[in-house]
Chains A and B, each alone.
Chain A
């Protein structure tokens, strides 16, 4: 996906003016926040499990090479193939090779953010292979030629009416005048249309929520069953996963699973949690004939051992996105990157460079709500601040802002000079405020006064008033 994060401000303005989008975005806090809170409250051990999750992932990351090797060995023992990809380009090339080896014409896809990250669909299309998204949300946006706007709810930016219009436009085999006012009808249509495609598919692509080193298994966590149909009915199952998805054991995976669905949608468990280990066995009546895993680096090893390493604990639950007031206002597309919200603001500069994606970690008030709900206790605001430090070091911030802040710091470090300046600046400003005690417009402050009144200062500063008070006290004594 072409990164347009540098346009965040204007993207945001468009998003704020888009009534359809604003209506749809209302579903984000409504659909996720209370549910997560209830699920967390209902499990006494929830907070302890968050600590456990962090512990397990930190241990894994500290030994990532060894766990990847152990995982690879188990996959091969169970009859699977492991491919290594350093870059997105490598991943695309390997995926295409597998498809071409099997003369694939159509491939089905379970919902997979990593395949979006590497732009797999575009690559397959360019090479005459049709990718069919089977997750309902991904299917809907595929019809619209859009990118997902949320990492677990790809079509959350759409209202039902828009989906109806798309189905009417595309499902031409059905009666044009049919009643689609009930969402159940839309679901049933998608179910029917996609049923055929699972059976036609030559290859089934999925991502993986986890890769288990102990058994060489890949894990998908879904509600619809599309991921399972994709990987069971496809003649070949290809898993694409980034290297930090590894966990050591089934027991470790069971721990983190407890905080994944609860943090994402407020469910104790998603409907389907599936552990796949290799291709069809001799006595299996169903299943894929071949099983391939593409392990992708794409910038993760660069994050290891740096102040951004903690981001590698992310299990892609979306809780941070669901709770972010900035995301609530502008939606996912405004971020201009495949990963939106707080986790996207930390991850994208790692993948694309802070020079290209630096706006993202700046578009935050550091309210901290994201960190407070992250199941893996990732300090998201802290890492966004690290990105700002990198920008500062590299002089990437707009000059006016840099000079303004430098001037403030200059004064702040010189209390006497500061006092001298403010003791006439504040009274002057307070005069502007008049009897109403507010200023409606002020040169250089249009960023503020465009939308708000500027409260006028009282006049004297506290220090001036305090000095006067202390002076009077001295006199009295």
Chain B
């Protein structure tokens, strides 16, 4: 097997031999990997905080997310309770161990049953907290882990995602900054999901249909 590895790499090197000497190439690669140059950042998301949050909401709605805003985490339980009632959903939901979600006083929604942990596919409603958002495209950045299990993002029929207004960035490049870093480098969780609207498919005569395999509905609650 390592023979195949050698064979592929040496075939590549032979093909590239005319391009540049090996030490120059090694230097160029090392520079790019350590320098990680930012490219072109579109003007669209480069707005002040308030306008940025507004753009985020506008772009999210364009892709069929529903968006609502509350001033504090204490309002989350009733906000979610209302959503469930409006959509005739049973008073049950699943979420992870995200501290910000657990901070709120859920006893205010008396009948609500809250499961904690990854989803087994039988949950109608899942709640997550996004690490950050991207105003440019109305996108949420969700990171895997026990705080926000990945399966909730894809198995719930209705996915409710909380995001803090100050975590809404203008562009994807800035959103990467919301992840943990070590020596200036992003430490990747197992999965980073950029979510832009509810699940959809165009595979039947190019007709746009929502709710393919992932959530049928995406509700975003902006806090702050």
Contact = CB atoms under 8 A, between A and B. Distances in A.
On whether A and B touch (CB less than 8 Å), the answer reads yes
Interface of A: 24, 27, 30-32, 43-45, 48-49, 52, 56, 59, 62-70, 78, 83-86, 90, 134-137, 140, 153-156, 158-160, 163, 183-184, 186-188, 190-191, 194-195, 198-199, 213-217, 223-226, 228-229, 232-233, 243, 248-252, 254-255, 257-258, 265, 267-281, 283-287, 295, 297, 301-302, 304-306
B7 interface: yes
A225 B214 contact: yes
B81 interface: no
A174 B179 CA distance: 46
Nearest to A56: B39
Given A268-B136, A274-B191, A283-B146, A155 B214 contact: no
Interface in B42-68: 42-44, 59, 63
B111 interface: no
B195 A224 contact: no
Contacts of B4: 84-86, 90
A29 B29 CA distance: 41
A45 B206 contact: no
A195 B154 CA distance: 11
A225 B125 CA distance: 16
Interface in B193-224: 193-207, 209, 211-215
A329 B47 CA distance: 45
B20 A224 contact: no
B193 to A, nearest CB: 5
A251 B175 CA distance: 11
Contact of B196 (A160, A268, A281, A301): A268
Contact of A27 (B5, B39, B120, B206): B206
Nearest to A275: B192
A66 B30 CA distance: 9
Contacts of B26: 66
A49 B59 contact: no
Given A271-B196, A302-B15, A252 B39 contact: yes
B72 interface: no
Contacts of A160: 204-205
Contacts of B7: 86
Interface string B151-186: 101110000000000000001110010000000011
B39 A287 contact: no
B174 to A, nearest CB: 10
A44 B151 CA distance: 36
A84 B1 contact: yes
B77 interface: no
Interface residues of B, number: 82
A305 B19 contact: yes
Q: Among the interface residues A70, A198, A233, which one has the most CB atoms of the partner chain B within 10 A?
A: A233
B100 interface: no
Q: Among the interface residues B11, B43, B199, which one has the most CB atoms of the partner chain A within 10 A?
A: B199
A140 B5 contact: no
Contacts of B120: 199
Nearest to A111: B203
Given A62-B16, A225-B214, A269-B139, 7 more contacts: A44-B44, A155-B203, A183-B204, A272-B214, A275-B188, A275-B192, A276-B190
Given A59-B32, A70-B33, A183 B5 contact: no
A183 B54 CA distance: 34
9 contacts: A44-B44, A45-B42, A67-B29, A83-B1, A228-B154, A271-B198, A271-B200, A286-B144, A305-B18
B154 A285 contact: no
Contacts of A248: 29, 32-33
Given A64-B16, A232-B154, A215 B145 contact: no
Contacts of A136: 201, 203-204, 212
Contacts of B194: 269, 272-274
B110 interface: no
Q: Among the interface residues A135, A276, A295, which one has the most CB atoms of the partner chain B within 10 A?
A: A276
B190 A284 contact: yes
A387 to B, nearest CB: 19
A251 B59 CA distance: 22
B209 to A, nearest CB: 5
Contacts of A228: 150, 153-154, 191, 193, 214
Contact of A226 (B13, B213, B215): B213
A66 B29 contact: yes
A229 B213 contact: yes
A44 B96 CA distance: 39
A186 B39 contact: no
A18 B206 CA distance: 19
Contacts of B192: 217, 274-275, 277
Contact of B188 (A78, A140, A306): A78
B40 A255 contact: yes
7 interchain residue pairs of minimum CB distance: A225-B214, A31-B206, A224-B212, A304-B15, A137-B203, A305-B15, A286-B118
B159 to A, nearest CB: 10
Nearest to B199: A225
B209 A84 contact: no
Interface in B96-131: 96, 117-118, 120-121
Contact of B213 (A194, A268, A281, A306): A194
A271 B12 contact: no
A108 B25 CA distance: 40
Contact of A257 (B153, B172, B204): B172
Nearest to A65: B12
B154 A153 contact: no
Contacts of A279: 190
A257 to B, nearest CB: 7
A24 B206 CA distance: 9
A286 B212 contact: no
A85 B7 CA distance: 9
Given A62-B20, A215-B186, A302-B15, A163 B204 contact: yes
Contacts of A254: 39, 171-173, 176
